[in-house]
C-alpha cells in the first residue's frame, strides 16, 4: 500500500493522464498537500482528491475526551445526545412503479429561494433511519447553508414514510433508488446531482453506483459507515455488546412492521409473519420477511448478494468512503481496500475512532455536527466546481477518453 508523507513530492508526469516529458525538457516538481498520519487515506483517486481535502485532513484526528474512549460509548452518545438542528421540511410522497411509496423531504422554501441550477444532494439514511435523525439533519443544514438543495430519501416505512404495498425496502432492492434519482433529476434538469449515504443507505448507494456504472446520473457520492460485506457484519452483530444494537434495530423494524401489519395478512409461501412481527434480531426479521420478499433462498444468500463490496470495482463516478477503524457495526475488516485502491474514481478515509455514526470529534464536538461533515462538503464542493466547468464531473476513464487527442495539462 503506497503511502505519502508530509512534504513529499512527485513528478507531474506520474499522473496517468499526463505523458512523460520529452528528453531534455525541464521536469517540474510540486508538493502535494498531505494528510495527518492519524488518518488512513488510500484509493485510486487519492492524489486527485487529496488536495481538495487537505484543510481538514492535515490536522490530527482528535476524538473528544471521555466520550470517544470506547466505541460503544461514542456510538450511543451520538445517537442519543447529539443536537438535532431544527429545520422546516416539505414532504413529497412519491408513488413508485410497483405501487409502493417513499417520502422525499425537502427544505421548505428552497424551491423559490435557490436558483434552478443549484446542486442537489440526495441523503440516504441508515436502517430504519430518516429525516428526523441527528446525523441527517446536520448534513442537511451544512449543505443547505452552502447553497445546496437537499432532499432526504426516506425509504418505505422509514421517517413515517407510508407503506402502501406488502413490501419494505432492503439492502438488495435498488428500484426505489433508481426512481428517486430519476424523479429528482427530472425536477431539476439544470442541476448536478450528488448523494450521501450512511450505513445501510451507504451500502445501497454504492450498489447503485456500481450497477449504473458509466450511465450513472450522479456527479459524485459519499459513503459513510458502510458495512460493505453484510455476511461479515452479521457475524459481528452477534458478538458481545453488539447484541444491544441488534435488539434495538430489531425493535425498530418490528415497530414499523406492526404499523402496517394488515398489509401482510394472509401472506402465504415461505413468509413467517409471526417471526417478523416479534423478531428479536435483525436476522430474525430478514428470515421471516425480507429474504422471502426479495426472492432469496436464505438469509445468508440475501446478505451475500446484497453486499456493496463487490460493486466498488464497477463505480465510475467520484466516490469518497469514510469509515471508522473501531466501528462496531461496519467492521473495518469488511472494507474492500484492494478494490478501492485499484479504482481511479474511489478514495477511502479511515479514522482511528468514531464508532458507528459517531465521529464525536472536530470543532463542533461533542454535541454538534460529526467530524465528517466538513470533509464531505469539501469533497462535494470540489466536485461541483469541476462539474460546473465541464457540465459533469467525469470519472477517471471518461476523463481519459475526453483528453484523447488534446494537450495534456494540469492546473496546480
The reply to whether 356 belongs to the active site is yes
**Active-site option among 234, 356, 373, 396:** 356
199 is a catalytic site residue = yes
Catalytic residue, chosen from 118, 131, 161, 199, is 199
Nearest to 111 by CA among 82, 127, 88, 80: 88
- Annotated active-site residue in 327, 339, 378, 396: 327
**Active site amino acids:** 199, 327, 356
Amino acid at each position: 500500500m503506497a503511502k505519502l508523507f508530509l512534504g513529499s513530492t512527485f513528478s507531474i508526469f506520474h499522473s496517468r493522464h499526463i505523458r512523460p516529458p520529452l528528453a531534455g525538457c525541464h521536469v517540474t516538481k510540486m508538493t502535494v498537500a498531505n494528510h495527518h498520519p492519524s488518518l488512513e487515506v488510500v484509493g485510486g483517486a487519492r492524489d486527485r482528491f487529496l488536495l481538495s481535502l487537505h484543510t481538514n485532513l492535515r490536522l490530527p484526528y482528535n476524538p473528544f475526551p471521555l466520550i470517544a474512549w470506547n466505541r460503544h460509548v461514542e456510538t450511543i452518545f451520538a445517537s442519543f445526545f447529539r443536537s438535532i438542528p431544527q429545520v422546516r421540511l416539505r414532504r413529497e410522497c412519491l408513488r413508485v412503479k410497483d405501487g409502493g411509496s417513499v417520502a422525499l423531504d425537502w427544505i421548505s422554501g428552497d424551491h423559490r429561494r435557490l436558483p434552478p441550477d443549484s446542486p442537489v444532494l440526495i441523503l440516504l439514511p441508515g436502517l430504519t433511519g430518516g429525516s428526523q435523525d441527528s446525523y441527517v439533519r446536520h448534513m442537511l443544514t451544512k449543505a443547505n447553508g452552502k447553497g445546496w438543495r437537499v432532499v432526504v430519501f426516506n425509504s418505505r416505512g422509514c421517517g413515517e414514510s407510508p407503506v402502501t404495498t406488502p413490501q419494505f425496502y432492503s439492502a438488495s432492492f435498488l428500484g426505489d433508488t433508481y426512481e428517486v434519482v430519476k424523479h429528482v433529476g427530472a425536477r431539476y434538469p439544470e442541476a448536478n446531482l450528488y448523494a450521501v449515504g450512511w450505513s445501510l443507505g451507504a451500502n445501497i448507494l454504492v450498489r447503485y453506483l456500481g450497477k449504473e456504472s458509466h450511465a450513472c446520473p450522479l456527479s459524485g457520492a459519499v459513503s459513510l459507515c458502510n458495512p460493505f460485506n453484510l455476511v461479515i457484519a452479521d457475524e459481528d452483530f452477534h458478538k458481545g455488546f453488539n447484541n444491544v444494537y441488534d435488539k434495538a434495530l430489531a425493535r425498530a423494524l418490528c415497530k414499523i412492521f406492526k404499523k402496517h401489519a394488515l398489509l401482510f395478512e394472509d401472506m402465504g409461501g415461505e413468509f413467517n409473519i409471526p417471526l417478523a412481527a416479534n423478531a428479536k434480531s435483525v436476522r430474525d426479521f430478514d428470515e421471516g420477511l425480507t429474504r422471502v420478499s426479495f426472492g432469496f433462498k436464505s438469509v445468508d444468500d440475501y446478505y451475500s448478494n446484497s453486499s456493496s463490496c463487490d460493486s466498488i470495482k464497477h463505480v465510475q463516478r467520484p466516490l469518497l468512503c469514510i469509515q471508522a477503524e473501531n466501528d462496531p457495526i461496519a467492521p473495518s475488516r469488511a472494507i474492500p481496500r484492494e478494490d478501492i485502491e485499484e479504482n481511479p474514481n474511489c478514495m477511502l478515509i479511515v479514522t482511528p475512532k468514531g464508532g458507528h455514526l459517531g465521529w464525536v470529534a472536530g470543532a463542533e464536538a461533542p454535541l454538534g455536527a460529526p467530524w465528517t461533515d466538513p470533509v464531505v462538503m469539501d469533497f462535494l464542493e470540489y466536485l461541483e466546481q469541476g462539474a460546473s466547468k465541464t457540465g459533469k464531473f467525469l470519472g477517471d476513464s471518461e476523463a481519459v477518453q475526453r483528453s484523447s487527442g488534446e494537450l495534456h495539462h494540469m492546473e496546480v
